[in-house]
Structure 1
Amino acid sequence: MYSFIARQPVFDKNMSTVAYELLFRDGMTNRFPDVSPEYATRQIISDLFLSTSLPKLVGNNNCFINFPPEMIVQGFADTLPHDKVVIEILETAKPTDELFDAVRRLFGWGFKIALDDFTLENGWQRFMPYVSIVKFDIRAYSFEEITQYINQHKKHLSKVKLLAEKVETAEEFERYKAFGFHLYQGYFYSKPEIIKNKRLAPGKVLQLQLIQEVNTPNPDMFKVENYLKRDLTLSYTLMRYTKNVLFKNRGIVLGKNATLRDTLLYLGINEVRRFVSISCLTNMADVKTDQLYHMSLVRGMFCELMAKETGNARLSGDAFFCGLFSLLDTILGISMEDLFRQILLPENVMNALTKHEGVIWQFLTLARLYEEQDWDNAGALLDSFKLDQATVIGAMQQSIEWADNISA
C-alpha cells in the first residue's frame, strides 16, 4: 500500500517560504474526503515517525498539520515537536470545553495554534488568546466579506496573524497584502505576471548566454570555457560538481592540476548542459524565489522520469529542460517570449513553454496537476500515458529528494 505526504508552501509578504502545510495523500485519485480526517492525520503522524523525517520534508521551516478536534482532545498532537509544528484546527470543530482545555495545554507547551476558516460566534472568543494564526479561504468568500468580517472582529483578531489561502493570482496577493494579511497559500506564483521588454542585469545576461551556447547542437567549448571564466562562482562550482559526478559515476579522480577545459571534456556535453542549467538557475534565484527554484528542480527531474517511463527516453533531456525552465519567467520577471529572444533552447521545449503543445508539455502538465492536487485531471492524463499511480508517486518522491539534495 502506498501513502505519501504532499507539502504546500506558506509564504510571507516578501514571497519567502516560511512554512509548509503537510497533506496526506494515498495515491493520485484517493483524495480527501475519500478517507476520514482522523485517518489522514494519523497517517501523517505515523509517516513523520516511521519513514520521512520532518527536517527532510520542511527543512528549517515550520509545518501546519490539520487536526480534527477529537484528536486534539485525545492528545494525538502532544508527541509532535512544539517548535516545528503548527496545530491547525479544522473548520468543522465546535468550541467545546474539552477542546478549549486541550488548546490551552498545547499553547502552554509552546505550540502555535491555527484556526481554519472559522467563525468567532458561539464561544470562539475565549480561544483567541491562545491562537496564533487564522486562515481565510478567499475562494469561499469575497474580499469584501472577509475584510468586513475582520473589521467587525478587530478586538479578537488584533494579536493573530491573518493567512489568505487559495490565492491564485498576483493581483489577489497584492490586494490582501495591502489590507494587512501576513501569510499566504496558493498557486499565484506559478501564474507569472508578464512584463514586456524588461532588461536583465549583466550577470544574468551572461548566464543566459551560457545556457544558450551549451544548448546549441554543437556547442563551442572554447566559448563555454570563456563564459565560465568570467564567473568565478560558476567556475568553482563546476570544479566541485565535476569532482563529485566523475567519482560517483565513473570512479575517476581528477588531478590537482586539472584545468577548466579538462573538467569540461571529462564531464561531456550532456552533463555540462545539466550543470550549466541548474547552476545558472540557482544564481538567478534569490531569497524571494527559493521555493520557485526548488519547484523548478522537482519539475525538471519529474519530466525527465516521465519521459523514460512512457517510452520517450530520447526526449528525457528536453523534458528535463522543459520542467527546469517552466518557472524561469516568474523568477526573472520576464515573459517566455522575451526570454526565448535571448536564449535558444530545443524547438520542442520552446513550443511546450510558449505554445503549450507536445508530449513534454503533457509531462509538465502532470507535474502541475500534482502540485495543485487536481487528482481527477491527473488521473485522466495517467490513463492516456498508461501509467499506474505507484509509478508516478514514486517518480515525484524521487524528484523531490533529488531537488532537496541539489538545493542543499
Structure 2
Amino acid sequence: MIALVARQPILDKNLNIFSYELLFRGKDSESFNGEQATAQVIMNTLESIGFTNLTEGQPAFINFTAELLKQGIPDLLAPEMVYIEVLETVTVDQKLLSGLETYKEMGFKIVLDDFVFSEDLIPLIKLADYIKIDFIITKGAERKKIITICNQYNSDIQYIAEKVETYDEFFAAKDMGFDYFQGFFFTKPKIIKAKKINSYSFTFFKMMKELNKDDPKIKKIEEIIKSDLSMSYSLLRIINSAHYGYDVKSIRQAIVLLGVDRLRKWSLLYFLKGLDNEKPDILFKTAILRANFAESLAGYFGDNRGENLFVLGLLSVIDAYLDRKLENILAEISLSNNLKEALIKREGQLGDLLLFIEAFEKLNLKEAENYIEKYSINYGMVFDNYSTALEKTKDIVEAFENNKL
C-alpha cells in the first residue's frame, strides 16, 4: 500500500504561515483506517521528507484517532513540532481524557477537528488549545454561536476557520473572531477588476512577451533589463553566484550564458517575489512548489520541455498576485495556445496537469487518481517528485530571502 503525505498551510490574520496540517491519502484509501492513515503520515514524514522540509520549522497538525491516543503514539513525537488534532469521530471517555491531559502536561497542543458543539464534548473543550470550525459543514451565524458557547467553558481557546475558499469567507471569519485560517482562498484574486499596471509590472510583461516569442531577440531582452536597475542587479547577482560560478559584468553576456529558458524562469520568479503588495509569502511558495512539481511531471503530460511546465505552474496563480482576470493578464504575454488553454480553461493535457496538481494539493485523491490512471503515472513516483519539489522550493525561497536571486 503506497501512501501520500501533503501539507495544507494554516495562516494567521496577517496571512503569515502559522503551521501546516499534514494530510494523508492512500492509493487504496478504503483499505486504510484512521490508525493506518496517521501512521503513514508520521512514518512517511519522519523517514522520507522530514518535518523540517515539510513544515519549514513550523508546527505540524496531525490527526489522531482515539485508539492511537490511548496507545501512546504521540510519545514518539516532539511536543514543540506536533499539535494533536483530535478527530470529530472520537468517543469521549475517561481513558481518552486522561491521555490528553497527560499530553498537555508534556507540552502538546490539543486541537479539536471539524467541531460542532454537543454537551458530551464539554470535557474536550476544557482541554483544547484550538478548535477548528469547518466552513462547509457550518453556515453563517452558527459559526459565531459555536465560538460563544465554547468560550463559556474555556476562554483561552483559539479558533481556526478551515476550508476557507474565498476572500469573502476569509474576511467574514476575521470579523467573527477567528484567529487562524485554513483553505486555498489565498490562491485566488481578491477582486476581479481592471487594475492599472505599474511600471514594475509593465517591465515584466515586456520581458515575458519577448522571451516567449519563437525567436526572442537578445538585443531586445538586453534593452528591457537595462531599463530596470533592480532587474539588472538581480540578473548579475544570479549569474555571478556560486551556483553558476561566473564573473560577468555585462548584461548581454549574462543573458547569453543563462539562455532563454533559464531567463524565463528567473524573470517570473523575480517578478512574483518583488511585487509590492500584501500577498502572503505562502502564495509565492505555492507558486514555486507548483512550478517544480509540474516540471517533474513533464514526461507524463505530453510536454518534454520542462521549463514550459515550470512557467505553467508559476503563472497558475498570477491572477491572485495581480487581482486581475487571467485572460487579461495572458493577453499581454506571448504564450502558446496550449499553455493559455491550460491556464484559462484547464483544457488539454496541460490543463489536466494543473487539475491534477490542484487535486493533489487538497488531497482529493479520487480526482487525482483519475489523472494517474489516464496518464499511466507511477503512483510511488508522485510522492518522490513531490518531496523533491519541496526541497527545490525551499532552496529557491532561501535564495531570495538571502538576496542571491
TM-score by length of structure 2 reads: 0.89
Aligned to 1:107: 104
Stretch deviating more after TM superposition (384-393 or 128-137)? 384-393
Aligned to 1:250: none
Q: Distance in 1 between matches of 2:281 and 2:148?
A: 34
**1:216 aligned onto 2:213:** yes
Q: Secondary structure at the match of 2:23?
A: strand
Aligned to 1:55: 52
Identify if the C-alpha distance between structure 1 residues 263 and 156 changes in structure 2 by more than 3 Å, giving closer, same or farther.
same
**1:292 aligned onto 2:275:** no
Aligned residues, how many? 398
Q: Distance in 1 between matches of 2:352 and 2:48?
A: 31
User: Which ranges of structure 2 fall in alignment gaps of 5 or more residues?
Assistant: 399-405
**1:350 aligned onto 2:350:** no
Structural mapping, 1:144-163, within 5 Å: 144-163=141-160
Conserved? CA contact 2:51–2:57, under 8 Å: no
**1:83 aligned onto 2:80:** yes
Q: Distance in 2 between matches of 1:363 and 1:22?
A: 23
Aligned to 2:236: 239
Q: Distance in 2 between matches of 1:170 and 1:317?
A: 31
Task: Report how far residue 180 of structure 1 moved.
Answer: 1.2
Q: Deviations over 1:114-165 (max 9, x none)?
A: 0113455445434444321001122222223332333344312532111121
**1:254 aligned onto 2:246:** yes
Identify if the C-alpha distance between structure 1 residues 208 and 18 changes in structure 2 by more than 3 Å, giving closer, same or farther.
farther
Query: Quick one: which amino acid aligns to residue 280 of structure 1?
Result: F
Identify if the C-alpha distance between structure 1 residues 402 and 329 changes in structure 2 by more than 3 Å, giving closer, same or farther.
same
User: Which ranges of structure 1 fall in alignment gaps of 5 or more residues?
Assistant: 248-252
Query: Quick one: which amino acid aligns to residue 13 of structure 1?
Result: K
**1:34 aligned onto 2:24:** no
Aligned to 1:18: 18
Conserved? CA contact 1:6–1:22, under 8 Å: yes
**1:390 aligned onto 2:380:** yes
Conserved? CA contact 1:304–1:317, under 8 Å: yes
What is the root-mean-square deviation in Å for CA atoms of aligned residues?
2.5
Identify if the C-alpha distance between structure 1 residues 67 and 329 changes in structure 2 by more than 3 Å, giving closer, same or farther.
same
Query: Quick one: which amino acid aligns to residue 105 of structure 1?
Result: T
Task: Report how far residue 301 of structure 1 moved.
Answer: 2.7
Query: Quick one: which amino acid aligns to residue 30 of structure 1?
Result: D
Q: Distance in 2 between matches of 1:124 and 1:269?
A: 60
Task: Report how far residue 82 of structure 1 moved.
Answer: 1.7
Aligned to 2:163: 166
Q: Secondary structure at the match of 2:363?
A: coil
Task: Report how far residue 231 of structure 1 moved.
Answer: 4.1
Q: Distance in 2 between matches of 1:224 and 1:217?
A: 14
Task: Report how far residue 310 of structure 1 moved.
Answer: 4.1
Task: Report how far residue 218 of structure 1 moved.
Answer: 2.7
Stretch deviating more after TM superposition (392-401 or 357-366)? 392-401
Identify if the C-alpha distance between structure 1 residues 355 and 311 changes in structure 2 by more than 3 Å, giving closer, same or farther.
closer
Q: Distance in 2 between matches of 1:350 and 1:58?
A: 33
Task: Report how far residue 95 of structure 1 moved.
Answer: 2.7
Q: Secondary structure at the match of 1:216?
A: coil
**1:273 aligned onto 2:264:** yes
Query: Quick one: which amino acid aligns to residue 11 of structure 1?
Result: L
Q: Distance in 2 between matches of 1:286 and 1:130?
A: 39
Aligned to 1:200: 197
Aligned to 2:402: none
Conserved? CA contact 1:95–1:122, under 8 Å: no
Q: Distance in 1 between matches of 2:198 and 2:107?
A: 45
